[in-house]
Chains A and B, each alone.
Chain A
Amino acid sequence: MLSRRILLPAAAALAVFVVLQTAISAELLNAYQITILTYACIFVTYALGLNVIYGYNGQFSLGHAAFYGIGAYASALVTKIVFQGNPLSFPLALAAGVATAAAIGYLIGLPILRLRSDYLGIATLGFGIMVKVLFDNADKVIPAMGGARGLTGIPKLTSFAWAFFAAAAAVILVRNLIYSSHGRAIVSVREDEIAADAMGINTTKYKTLAFVVGSGLAGLAGGLYAHLYVFLHPSNFDFLKSVDVLMVVVLGGLGSMTGTIIAAVGWVFLLEGLRIVLPQEFLDWRMVIYPLVMIIVMILRPRGLMGGIELGPLKPGKVVRRLKAALVPASGKEA
């Protein structure tokens, strides 16, 4: 049975959606503002994927943008080639993006998840750069992918509603996964892989599971991104895009869904807000202010804004809380 703890915030989220959607329908917001709102929702989905991999499972990834890109290209190709731009097929195109990203996540995850901490980060970084090079050269094999010229002619199918409900579905999925027994196994790998192994947890299986779920969410976000901006270029999925999302997950607080949501939305709004607030001649300062904000937040709150704390319906249930209380000294140590 759903308690009030879940129903009230769900109703609040729905209310926020209704207000924003009404504003959009009544044309109170311009196209640019709608795009930013939609992109914020996409970024939440994208960042939640990395939070599963790094925040909850502790597997350091510097190549998350590769899966974002794979999802984007796969779903764009499905829409363009298979369905010839038919809007009714949009869910299928998104599903294709998720499936491709998750499948490649599985194939890559199996060998490289044996690596630990920084070495895994470097291997995923290398993978991310390799995927970008492949996108750059893909037109030699599949001309429709456009290579370094970019993939054009994607129909604009992503609306605010699509992005919002995709993000909501991602939140529900991650919440239910993390507070299930599988989720506890995933978190135990982060806390201490050797101890988890000794307790009979199949660490390889759970590392791969987290990696596949995280890659799949990135693929979903990628598919939405492709059909929002209707143009894909390999440079949209370079190393800096992996860094952006890592930064959002860390700034929000590792292993906190609330933190990821706040940081993802905050990050998109900060970057776009500076564009509006700064006078024309200081527009170049935007990219100077943003790393400074990042450095200051890290120095003041090294564990991120939320530091592993959840709010409202994202808080763990009674059983998990009781278990956590028993484990307090183990959590929060260095990754």
Chain B
Amino acid sequence: MDLNAQIVYFLQQVINGIQLGSVYALIALGYTMVYGIVRLINFAHGDVFMVGAFAGFFAVSVLGLSFLPAIILAMIVSMVLGVTIERLAYRPLRRAPKIAALITAIGVSIFLEYFTSLNFVFGPNYRTFPRPFEVTSWNIGGVAISNILVIILGVSLFLVVALQLFVTRTKVGIAMRAVSFDHDAARLMGINVDTVISITFAIGSALAGAGGVLFAIAYPQVDPFMGIMPGLKAFVAAVLGGIGIIPGALLGSLIMGQAEVLTTGYVSSTLRDLVAFGILIIVLLVRPTGLLGKSGVEKV
């Protein structure tokens, strides 16, 4: 390959990495918000993402909806699921040791995976996701940019900015930050902590649902176990950027996306997880609170 072709190849990989990273970002936001507010690694989040993708699948293939109504429907379905999980499984454990909630989260995750694989629910097989719009792609100096990339990037950036504004500018957003700082003090200030936690799960799950549809459009396949790896990687991305920090989740996700795609493009696709998790461990050892996290002394 001459130099020019190499540059084009590299840019193409970077573009693919941005596409993957944007989807991770939507999942990572839910993880980071939930962790920020209840200090729980919500392992079921990846499965909410999966249910969102299936909701999009049925919206497009059975109801025949177009892209925008389908993604909104998927967001609503995921939101209802996320809030239900919080209400039934996590709220009874609010005062229990943290590990009990974590194990419950893993239980919910396994339950969703295997319950949806039953034949009368989604069934265990892969299904091809019908694209709700025509795929076109533009050639800019040899680098192919598809409308899928533009849509994914557009939707992700819109949702991240909207979320950041919501958390910093609205009353509910301020309440959220107060609760993440100190549950009891927030309660004393007249904030209904349970409602705020429910809203957090609702928003995080809706974002995961949107991520599920976008992921299924980009890599057009859905199955009940599709949420496990993207879920884990998105969580890792959230930790990488600094958990609880919204721009951190975006940054971490873009790094994870690049690490994965560049390893696939230049080394070997089987080694991509090695690089992604290797970066995680190195970052944790050097900056345990993540790239954008504030390093502080842990209170006793």
Contact = CB atoms under 8 A, between A and B. Distances in A.
B277 interface: yes
B11 interface: no
A307 B285 CA distance: 33
Given A119-B284, A125-B232, A295-B104, A334 B98 contact: yes
A127 B104 contact: no
B170 interface: no
A84 to B, nearest CB: 30
Interface in B142-159: none
Contact of A292 (B98, B107, B281, B285): B107
Interface string A234-264: 0000010001001100110010000000000
A239 B107 contact: no
B99 A335 contact: yes
Contacts of A116: 288, 298
Given A194-B300, A288-B114, A334-B98, A294 B93 contact: no
B24 to A, nearest CB: 15
B1 interface: no
Contacts of B41: 118, 121-122
Interface stretch (B59-67, B195-203, B214-222, B267-275): B267-275
Interface stretch (B13-21, B115-123, B160-168): B115-123
Contacts of A287: 110, 113-114
A126 B107 contact: no
A116 B236 CA distance: 16
Interface string A84-110: 000000000000000000000000000
A291 B108 contact: yes
Contacts of A288: 111, 114-115, 118
A137 interface: yes
A114 interface: yes
B141 interface: no
Interface stretch (A8-16, A200-208, A297-305, A322-330): A297-305
Nearest to B90: A299
B126 to A, nearest CB: 17
Contacts of A130: 273-274, 277-278, 281
Contacts of A121: 41
Interface string A159-178: 00000000000000000000
A286 B221 CA distance: 26
A122 B237 CA distance: 11
B89 interface: yes
Nearest to A54: B99
Nearest to A303: B97
B103 A246 contact: yes
B114 A122 contact: no
A129 interface: yes
Contacts, number: 125
B100 interface: yes
A133 B99 contact: no
Given A129-B273, A137-B270, A284-B117, A302 B285 contact: no
Given A294-B107, A302-B97, A123 B298 contact: no
Contacts of A284: 114, 117-119
A247 B108 CA distance: 13
Interface in A298-320: 298-299, 302-303
A287 to B, nearest CB: 4
A247 B99 CA distance: 10
B97 to A, nearest CB: 5
A295 B107 contact: yes
B191 interface: no
A299 B114 contact: no
Interface string B28-58: 0000000100010100000000000000000
Contacts of A148: 270
A123 B284 contact: yes
B214 to A, nearest CB: 24
B249 interface: no
B280 interface: yes
B78 to A, nearest CB: 19
Interface of B: 35, 39, 41, 89, 92-93, 96-101, 103-104, 106-111, 113-115, 117-119, 228, 232, 235-236, 239, 268, 270-271, 273-274, 277-278, 280-281, 284-285, 288, 298, 300
10 contacts: A119-B284, A125-B232, A129-B277, A130-B278, A130-B281, A284-B118, A284-B119, A291-B108, A298-B101, A299-B89
Given A123-B284, A126-B277, 14 more contacts: A115-B288, A123-B281, A130-B281, A246-B106, A250-B100, A284-B119, A285-B118, A288-B111, A290-B110, A291-B107, A294-B104, A298-B104, A302-B93, A334-B98
